[in-house]
Amino acid sequence: MTSDQQSNRTMKVRCCIVGGGPAGMMLGYLLGRAGIEVVVLEKHADFFRDFRGDTVHPSTLQVMDELGLIDGFLKLPHQRLQKMDGLFGGTPVRIADLSRLHTKYPFIAFMPQWDFLNFLREAGRRFTSLKVMMSTEAVDLIRRGETVAGVRARTPEGIIDIEADLTIACDGRHSTVRERAGLAVEEIGAPMDVLWFRAGRRPDETENVFARVEPGKMMITFDRGDYWQCAYVIAKGQFDAVKARGLTALLDDVVRMAPILKSGIADVKSFDDIKLLTVAINRLTRWTRPGLLLIGDAAHAMSPVGGVGVNLAVQDAVATANLLADELQHGCPSENELDAVRRRREFPVKMTQRMQVVVQNNIISGALLGSDRPLKVPLIVRLITALPWLQGIPARLLALGVRPEHVQSKAAPPS
């Protein structure tokens, strides 16, 4: 370390959360609510970035309800989705119908994720023990022997050492903490990447179809009010080949699949307006070190299939607070106590990733890597479309996930 990088500032907290995504902001809220001295570090200056999963599923809406936050939350602009319809090789299919669920919030709320994160941040301001530090990037771990004792972070004012009894990494699929802790990642793999771009939307443009699959192509569109957020799926590593074909060829394909984008696609003027999002599915076998726990995508990167990653991250946060908040009142839980989070959450993660892999292997790979022959709608999709009562099963898996969590951690009495 050079002398100008040397830390001259330190702070000490009970718990340091690295990463202000869905896992980190929800966990910060829950621990702040429990009266635990906690700091959340987010490397960006705000939450306003183009790519963030935008789907808030019934399991997360239920958590917001249990926290007494739902009324304010649902006042934020959002669209509600109950029936998930798609076009598979031109054939209309129904993937799920959430109106069949016996749950308090039987819909997916589509809301820009920065609104969700800002809402949690604002709601958490009332907890004096919670501090959110933006523009603060964890760059290394502080160690005391074998134990992780906090993080070293870069801020606009320079380096700061944040000493913590417990560090929780919620820093996503490219986790710096995971890498510094030397935890081995089991790669499961994904056959695709995603091109992410916006196309303008006129007020009179509405459409229920949100997924389209054709030979060699796949696309999802999200209605974000004044624009369509488009996710165009390509075979892994093929972005250079797409570029070599040229922008016009790509946009022609897009409009052929989704004619509703015909006028708005003019917003995409060059490849600079298109972001490549690399998709990964992986997981850790060990989620802990003494003094350290990893949750959310840092522990198990989720594919976009089903749009469930945000909700899994929130569920991890709820489980972490349920299992550890009491112990954290007194100090750092032992590694075995920290590992209770993995023991609780590993099964839902594995089941969900398994389902994502089944969809990847049976539908996405076939569509992307297949020839130009007409696509056959897979039997399971045909059955679900034809038998409405079956639509409740994928709806339940998507909406509530496996082993949904409920808030059990206690709120500290107001000070």
Residue 176 C-beta: closest distance to ligand FAD, Å: 4
- Calpha distance 233→218 (Å, rounded): 5
Residue 109 C-beta: closest distance to ligand FAD, Å: 11
Residue 84 C-beta: closest distance to ligand FAD, Å: 12
Contact with ligand FAD (CB under 6 A): which of 33, 43, 152, 289?
A: 43
Using CB under 6 A as the binding rule, whether residue 233 contacts ligand FAD is answered as no
- Calpha distance 135→46 (Å, rounded): 8
CA 81 to chain centre: 18
Contact with ligand FAD (CB under 6 A): which of 74, 277, 351, 359?
A: 277
Residue 127 C-beta: closest distance to ligand FAD, Å: 19
Contact with ligand FAD (CB under 6 A): which of 17, 31, 34, 41?
A: 41
Q: How many helices (H) and strands (E) does the chain have?
A: 12, 20
Q: Is residue 313 within 8 Å of 295, Cβ to Cβ?
A: yes
CA 154 to chain centre: 24
Using CB under 6 A as the binding rule, whether residue 86 contacts ligand FAD is answered as no
Q: Is residue 235 within 8 Å of 191, Cβ to Cβ?
A: yes
- Calpha distance 155→136 (Å, rounded): 5
Q: Is residue 41 within 8 Å of 19, Cβ to Cβ?
A: yes
Using CB under 6 A as the binding rule, whether residue 349 contacts ligand FAD is answered as no
Contact with ligand FAD (CB under 6 A): which of 297, 319, 322, 399?
A: 297
- Calpha distance 395→175 (Å, rounded): 31
Looking at 98-106, 158-166, 308-316, 400-408, which segment touches ligand FAD (CB under 6 A)? 308-316
Q: Are strands 137-144 and 55-56 parallel, antiparallel or unpaired?
A: unpaired
Using CB under 6 A as the binding rule, whether residue 310 contacts ligand FAD is answered as yes
Using CB under 6 A as the binding rule, whether residue 112 contacts ligand FAD is answered as no
Q: Report the residue number, 140 or 253, with the smaller CB distance to ligand FAD.
A: 140
In this structure, how many other beta carbons lie within 10 angstroms of the beta carbon of residue 188? 18
Q: Report the residue number, 46 or 252, with the smaller CB distance to ligand FAD.
A: 46
Contacts of 75 (CB under 8 A, 6+ apart): none
Using CB under 6 A as the binding rule, whether residue 257 contacts ligand FAD is answered as no
Residue 302 C-beta: closest distance to ligand FAD, Å: 4
Using CB under 6 A as the binding rule, whether residue 366 contacts ligand FAD is answered as no
Q: Is residue 109 within 8 Å of 54, Cβ to Cβ?
A: no
Chain residues in the site for ligand FAD (CB under 6 A): 18-24, 41-44, 53-55, 137-138, 170-172, 176, 194, 277, 279, 296-298, 302, 304, 307-311, 313
